[in-house]
Amino acid sequence: MEKDSIIETNRVHFYYGKFRALTDISMRFQKHRITALIGPSGCGKSTLLRLLNRMNDLIPEARVEGEVVFEDRDIYGPDVDPVEIRKKIGMVFQKPNPFPKSIFNNITFGPKLSGVAAKADLRNLVEESLRQAVLWDEVKDILDRSAMALSGGQQQRLCIARALAMKPDVLLMDEPTSALDPISTAKIEELVEELKKKYTIIIVTHNMQQAARISDMTGFFYLGRLVEYELTEKIFTNPSVKQTEDYITGRFG
């Protein structure tokens, strides 16, 4: 494995029952980079994302072939606990999904259950995570108010802060701005670019401008296959595959 890659998929096939959703995906995700996964609906990009922290385990009849290597071992190996994997590879979802708890308790939920108990530690963690998610100034006086009272964009940043509170190595983002207005979207994009200094980010997006704006690497998926995986600049200026060009110029998808 190259030194700077953090997750690697080797010849991964993925099935929902009999339906093959991903075919032969081999990809290296680089440390402290933002990798964007793009492609039309149903192309398998979200499936791949959820495969990287074993969220697809929740789907009955789902089956994985091939290996996903993280920290020198196959996360689908028999002795791997998916719970441990998910502590290191966090996830932010398409729709903001805060718990119906206070802002404070949303952030401390994960850390508390994995053993952080001291009140002072939790307080620091809340502030640190909210600052990283650029939400601290907006909510520092209302930490005990319900997270459901926040706006959609604030909720999504709270969800990012909640994921960061687990101090993961990798952050997976599944269309994190598709339910948000343009201003909130801009805030999150800014935030993501800031976060790559400390984390590795893999983001699925429907929005090609977004991929072009924020990512370092871009993978284009079509019908469950990885068509092209390149530096973002190259993909958007000089793609080597015709299908990629057709998609990014808006001829289909």
Partner 1 sequence: MRRRYFKQSLFFALVTLSAGLLLFSLGGLLVYIFLNGFRAVTWDFLTLPPMDSMTKGGILPAILGTLYLTLGAVAVALPLGIVSAIYLTEYARQGKIVRVIRIGVNCLAGVPSVVFGLFGLGFFVVFLGFGSCILSGALTLGILILPTIIGATEEALKAVPQTFREASLALGVSKWLTIWKVVLPSALPGILTGSILGIGRAAGETAPIMFTAAAFYTAKLPGSIFDEVMALPYHIYVLATAGTFIDQTRPLQYGTVLVLVGLVLGIDLFAIVIRSVVRKKKRW
Residue ranges that bind partner 1, judged by CB under 8 A: 53, 55, 58, 60, 83-88, 90-91, 93, 95, 97-100, 109-110, 113-114, 146, 148, 159, 162-163, 166
Residue with Cβ nearer partner 1 (177 or 232):
177
Task: Report the candidate in 56, 48, 88, 39 with the shortest Cα–Cα distance to residue 253.
Answer: 39
Rounded to a whole number of angstroms, the minimum distance from the CB of residue 62 to partner 1 is 13
* Encoded tokens for 237: 């200026």
Rounded to a whole number of angstroms, the minimum distance from the CB of residue 77 to partner 1 is 18
3-state secondary structure of 207: coil
Rounded to a whole number of angstroms, the minimum distance from the CB of residue 17 to partner 1 is 13
- Would you give the end-to-end CA distance of the chain in angstroms? 34
Rounded to a whole number of angstroms, the minimum distance from the CB of residue 158 to partner 1 is 11
Residue with Cβ nearer partner 1 (132 or 243):
132
Rounded to a whole number of angstroms, the minimum distance from the CB of residue 11 to partner 1 is 26
Residue with Cβ nearer partner 1 (53 or 232):
53
Asked if residue 13 lies in contact with residue 65, where contact means CB atoms within 8 angstroms, the answer is yes
Amino acid at 241: V
Amino acid at 14: F
Residue with Cβ nearer partner 1 (100 or 182):
100
3-state secondary structure of 98: coil
Task: Report the candidate in 122, 195, 123 with the shortest Cα–Cα distance to residue 157.
Answer: 195
Rounded to a whole number of angstroms, the minimum distance from the CB of residue 60 to partner 1 is 7
Element (H, E) at 22: strand 19-30
Asked if residue 76 lies in contact with residue 9, where contact means CB atoms within 8 angstroms, the answer is no
Calculate the alpha carbon distances from 77 to 61, 67, 68, 82 in Å: 18, 8, 9, 10
Residue with Cβ nearer partner 1 (98 or 219):
98
Residue with Cβ nearer partner 1 (148 or 241):
148
